[in-house]
Structures are given as C-alpha cells and as structure tokens.
Structure 1
C-alpha cells in the first residue's frame, strides 16, 4: 500500500522520539498528522486537525533529516536559490509492505499498537558495513527518468539527471511487548533475509508488523549545474546532521493511525487492480478515506530559520565525512520556542505562535552540533534554503 504525502508538514529542529521535550540536534522534514510537536502520543496525533497523508485515518508522524547543498561562497548560492522553480518539487512516499494472506488463511501481520514508535538508521555513522542489515536498510537512487537509475549505499558521487531518491526500510519484526526502547531500535528487528526479505522467525521478535519504507525525492538537477561552485564538487550535498556521506541517514515513526483502521487494511486490503501498491482500490472498498488533493501544514514551534540562505546548518552541525563516527557536540545556543502551533490547509497560515520560551545562549541540551553549509533539499513549497560554515554556504534543496 502506497501513500504519497501531499506536503511536508514543517521543517524544523524537533524530534519527539530521540529528543522529547526539547529542541533536537538537527533539522528534520516532518510529514503526517498536524499535532506534531516536542511530545507526541498516538492519542494526540489522532486529534490532529489535518494530515499530509492521503489516507485520512493515517495521522502518524514520519520524519527524516533535511538535505542541503554546500556552497563554497555565499554569493554563489543566492541567485540559483531564488530561481529554483516549484515544478522541481515532488512528494515523499510511504509504502506499507506486507504479504497477502494465503487462500483460506487469516492474516498474520499485526497493526502497530497505540504509542508504538521506532527509529531506523544511525545519525552518527560515516562509514559502511555491508554485513549490517541496519545499514543495508538505507539506499539512494541516482535517478535518470530517461535512462537507467543506479542504486548506491551512499549519496551518489555523480550528477543525477532526475534527482536523488533517499530510501529507508524500517524493521518489521517486533518483540510483542515494548512500544519503544532506550535505543528506539532494540524492541524491533529486521527479518531473517535482511531489511526487505525473509520472515520474523527469531523467537525474540515473533510479531510481524507491516514494513514501512520511506522514499524521499530530492530535487538536485539545477544544483548539479553549479557543482563547480560547491565546497565539494564531487558530492556537494549534506544532510542536516552534518552528513555528506549518506551513511548517517535515518528516519523516525510514531503511530497515529485511527484505531482499528490499519488492522482492517492488513486483513482486507489485498487488491491491486489500480496498480501495484496503489491505495485507490482499498479506498474504493471503504477500508479508509482517500483524499489526494488536500494539503496540511504547521506553523513552526522552533523560532529558527531552516530554509533559505544560511551561514551554517541549523543546530550548528559541522560537516563530518568520517570515516569515524561523528561526535555528539553540544549546541551553541537554543532558539526561542513559539506557541501555539497552527495547522493550516491553505497557502499560508492565518496566525502564528508567539514566543513562550526565549532563546538561550546556554548549551545544556546535549544536542549534537556540527559546522557546515548546505542547501535544504526536501520541501513541498517553492522555498529553498541554504546554510554554510566558515568559507562555505549551504542551500536547502526542494523535494522532487
């Protein structure tokens, strides 16, 4: 079952899974239910005013680090940033993958329980271990819609004619007990054959969940035209966590499905007449409500610029290519916090929050910090961001 998110809900430095109740270490692009915030529960998400997901009963939150283009000098980024057109923007996609029940046999895949959450990937990684299922779960496609698209385990070190697709699988085997774990990973496991094959035959993880697969499309075409003006012309992109390799790519999930709906999908939604994985058929059966033309956005909670021309990555994350794991550094300052956050379905909000917690120069957050410049690459509007470190500039890239 495939869902194309209609919008990025918001791009900001929040992560209610890893950093609940505080500003997180780096900027994420968030999709899903509009009740996203510093602290999130299944109950609160179900009360969301809107969702970016076409299946209206899916008010879960999904998020991943934003992508930036690292310029060598600020002025080289200003003009191209302004000219990036909205037509380059595309949509993130969420796939829920599961095997149909055999003839006459009941479905054995279980829906996520209330308050279930998990993380896939490791933000600190800067090298690749080919034997690790967790690292195999992260791949990138160098897209060429008029030729052959090539898969990489890293950010592609070449120009990609049709952009870059970041791909990540989540574990699908659950211990059946814990809704979360200290690592946000040890309560789940990948199946026996790797991140996208096999079964849940480990007795420690006996419950089969739907496999969540997130695809993020990054519009890199026009930025590739100025690669010679980048800090690194071979690979000019960097994720918000200061990762120019892609090995530290990661994504988070918190369940916000309306009670009973996802299990109904798993039990009854086996039709594919509208095309592989297309949700239209199941929507026509009344299994859920499908709305593909709506929109949903959220005003910021963290009073901080994450898109546009930036002199450093949000959170002050230095670009670190490894191969050693990236260190966790304290943030140099904490932005002001705005409240309330307003959900809106039009082109712009009718109101924005006011400062409820002033900015602070104190570190104290334990957030990783890195210095770098970049161009944010995932957005669902025409905004383009950039950031840079000393001697460089970064720009946020639009989502394809």
Structure 2
C-alpha cells in the first residue's frame, strides 16, 4: 500500500478525498535572476532577486499576445515536456553575524511517488476540485504581495511556512499545508532543519481577462488550503485548477547559532522582508489543451498520462534546461549585501 506521507496526501485525506488525482511534479531552477516580466517588464536589475523555473523562452518582457511560451520554448526545467509555463518566487537568504548574505539551498520534497528531484527550484501542484477549466494562453497571475510588511494582512491558509525538524524530506512533519502551527512569518528557530514554504493561488476567474493591472483582480480565492477551492462567486464564476508552489529551504547548514546575527532575523526573503512579503508569479504555457485533458482524464502525480498526452521527462533532462541571467551578477556564495539596487558583490 502506498504510504501517503506527503503534504498533498495529508490535505486530501483531511478532506475525505484520498482518491482524488492531481498533478504534482518537480521543477529545477531555470535561472536565478533580477528580472520580473510581470511587475517590472523590460527592466534589468529589478528591486529584488527571483528564482525562475519552467520554459526557456522566459525573458524580460513576455507580452501576453506576442510571447507564446509553448511556441517559443525549446525545453522546460519541469517534469512534464508539455508544460512550458513559467513559475517564479523570491529567494531566501541567510544573514550572518558579520553582515554578509548567502542564498539558502533548496531540496525537493518527498511524497507518495518518491522523492521529487529538483536542482534548486520548487514543486508544482495542479489540484482539481470538480470540473475545472484550464488556463488560457496569455494567462498570468500573482499570489502574495512583495511589499507587505504585516503578517496580519496575509491569509495563513494560502501563504505559509512550516518549521521542518528533520533533514529528510520524506519524514513528514505536521498536517495539511497551511494548517496547524504553520505561520505567515519565516521560522527563525535553530531547531528547524528545513523551512517549507507554501504558496497557494486563487481558483476562481472572471472568465474574461487574462491579466489585470495588479495581476490579481481577475481571479479570487474560494476558501483556503490545498483543497482545490470551493464554489466560485458570480463575479469570478469560472473554476480553475488550484496551483500550489511548495519550496523546501534547507537551513540545516546554518545550525551554528554563533554565526547568526546578534539581532533581527537570520532568514529573510530577497526583498529584505519576511514571510509577509512571500509571493509567487505564474505565467501559463502548457501546450495546446494538454492541461485541460490532464484535469479531465484524472492524470496523477508526475507520471506519463497517455490519455492526456502528458510525457514525463527524467531529472537529467529537466535539470539541464537553463538560461543565462539577463541581469548578470553574482548570486552564489557569500555576498556583501543582498542583490538590491546595485549589482551584487562577493563578500
């Protein structure tokens, strides 16, 4: 019998829907770069650093009509060949006592299908709840607010962090995502070996606009947690698959408290803000109607799904889909400061 130890299984079991299928797959880092074609199109050295995964046609502008990811990308850093979408988030940094910074390394997260292998990057979920309508070409959205400084303004049921007290990602800690002791704030506790970050996107669409000026108003939440969402309101009547990002930040290499700063948080995001500013960006880029078929045909996890034409590619393939930085700077090793404003400089 499959041992349902993943957060996804816990969420589904909690909702009495253990038989429900969903896509759950790994994406390795395409690039770590200071660009953001949604919030700062055309700008190099944007205010903060992102990690980007997905199709290799990712660029500075990505106009929704002119830039068809599925047409322009020749590879993807995600598990499914048909998924040329782009997904990105902020980067977590560790600040040392001497004031220098380094990026926190990442690992995949295990689950019922075994360890998901990703070189950096994150795990992606598409969770259906009843009949859903797949995103359309040109669709994009953002979850969270990169400038938010108040935890109280964030729904813990949609964006959260969990202190993972084991270094083995298959040792499941806690219950369903964004529940229990999960917090909006980034845990800054020496007992945390990893920090799991969860970002859950809205599931209801107005059915008209592929985007909106704030990249949010054309969609809305219907409930919270990884349930696939509830009934949609009349203003946003179209039910979408629930997109969820899952990131495992490995903080076990920073377990020596003597190197932590004397005051302030040791872990922070690349905006120099905490968990209240956690956010994710999404640009749809599945080939043809492959995502709609995947939802309709109950495709599951990260396996081939012939009924929908989905093809799984192994890590040695998707790990090697990379692009060069479009805002070149040092992002690895110890840095004098987080990459904000001027180009980053090695410590």
Q: TM-score, normalised by structure 1?
A: 0.68
For each residue in 1:335-361, what CA deviation from the matched residue of structure 2 results, as whole angstroms up to 9, or x when unmatched?
Answer: 6xxxxxxxxxxxxxxxxxxxxxxxxxx
Which of 156, 159, 169 lines up with 1:138 in the alignment? 159
2:328 equivalent to 1:303:
yes
**Contact kept? 2:107, 2:248, Cα under 8 Å:** no
**1:143 offset after TM fit, Å?**
1.1
The Cα RMSD (Å) is 3.0
Deviations 1:81-101 (A, max 9, x none): 9x999999665100001125x
Aligned length: 299
Match of 2:143 in 1: 120
| 1:66 matches 2:87 | no
- In structure 1, runs of 5+ residues without a counterpart are 101-107, 272-276, 317-332, 336-385, 394-400
Counting only pairs closer than 5 Å after superposition, residues 255-266 of structure 1 correspond to structure 2 as 255-266=284-295
Structure 1 residues 260 and 157, CA, compared in 2 at 3 Å: closer, same or farther? same
Partner of 2:52: 30
Structure 1 contact 16–40 (Cα < 8 Å) conserved? yes
Deviation at residue 304 of structure 1 after TM alignment: 1.5
Q: CA deviation at 1:165?
A: 1.0
Q: Is the 8 A contact 2:68 2:138 kept in 1?
A: no
Partners of 1:236 and 1:151 lie apart in 2 by: 18
Does 2:133 align with 1:110? Answer: yes
Residue 10 (structure 1) aligned to one of 11, 20, 31: 31
1:201 aligns with 2:232: yes
Query: In structure 2, how many angstroms separate the alpha carbons of the residues matched to 1:238 and 1:263?
Result: 37
Deviation of the 1:153 alpha carbon: 2.0
Alpha-carbon separation, structure 1, partners of 2:290 and 2:55:
15
Q: CA deviation at 1:234?
A: 7.3
Q: Kindly indicate whether the alpha-carbon contact (under 8 Å) linking 1:156 and 1:235 is maintained by their aligned counterparts in 2.
A: no
3-state SS of paired residue (2:212): coil
- The Cα of 1:216 is off from its aligned counterpart by 1.0
Which secondary structure state, in structure 2, belongs to the residue aligned with residue 140 of structure 1?
strand
- In the TM superposition, what is the alpha-carbon distance from 1:287 to its structure 2 partner? 2.9
Q: 1:180-213, CA deviations, whole angstroms, 9 ceiling, x for partnerless residues?
A: 111111110001x235454243110000111100
- Taking a change above 3 Å as real, the CA distance of residues 151 and 160 of structure 1, as seen in their structure-2 partners, is farther
Match in the other structure for 2:260: 230
Give, in angstroms, the shift of residue 128 of structure 1. 1.9
Counterparts of 2:118 and 2:294, CA distance in 1: 33
CA contact (8 A) 2:24 2:302 kept: yes
The answer to whether the 8 Å contact 1:29/1:65 transfers is yes
Indicate the residue corresponding to 1:168 in structure 2.
199
Match for residue 281 of structure 2 among 234, 252, 259: 252
Q: Aligned partners of 1:95 and 1:138: how far apart in 2?
A: 14
Query: Cα 1:228–1:212, aligned 2, differ >3 Å: closer, same or farther?
Result: same
Q: Does 1:19 align with 2:43?
A: no
Q: CA deviation at 1:154?
A: 1.1
Q: Which consecutive residues of structure 2, in runs of 5 or more, have no partner in the other structure?
A: 1-21, 109-116, 175-180
Q: Which residue of 1 aligns with 2:340?
A: 315
Q: Does 1:45 align with 2:64?
A: no
The 5-angstrom pairing of residues 76-95 of structure 1 reads 92-95=122-125
SS at match of 2:246: strand
CA contact (8 A) 1:94 1:214 kept: yes
CA distance in 1, matches of 2:338, 2:120: 23
- 2:128 maps to what in 1? 98
Q: Where does residue 274 of structure 1 map in the other structure?
A: none
Q: In the aligned structure 1, how far is the partner of 2:106 from the partner of 2:136? A: 42
Q: Determine the structure 2 residue equivalent to 1:292.
A: 314
Q: Which residue of the other structure, out of 160, 182, 189, is the alignment partner of 1:158?
A: 189
2:79 aligns with one of 54, 65, 68: 54
Cα separation, partners in 2 of 1:111 and 1:305, compared to 1, 3 Å: same
Q: CA deviation at 1:28?
A: 0.2
Structure showing greater Rg: 1
- Contact 2:197-2:247 within 8 A present in 1 as well: yes
SS at match of 1:298: coil
The residue matched to 2:253 in structure 1 has which SS?
helix
Task: Give the TM-score taking structure 2 as reference length.
Answer: 0.77
CA–CA distance in structure 1, aligned partners of residues 280 and 225 of structure 2: 14
Distance in 2 (alpha carbons) for counterparts of 1:175 and 1:89: 36
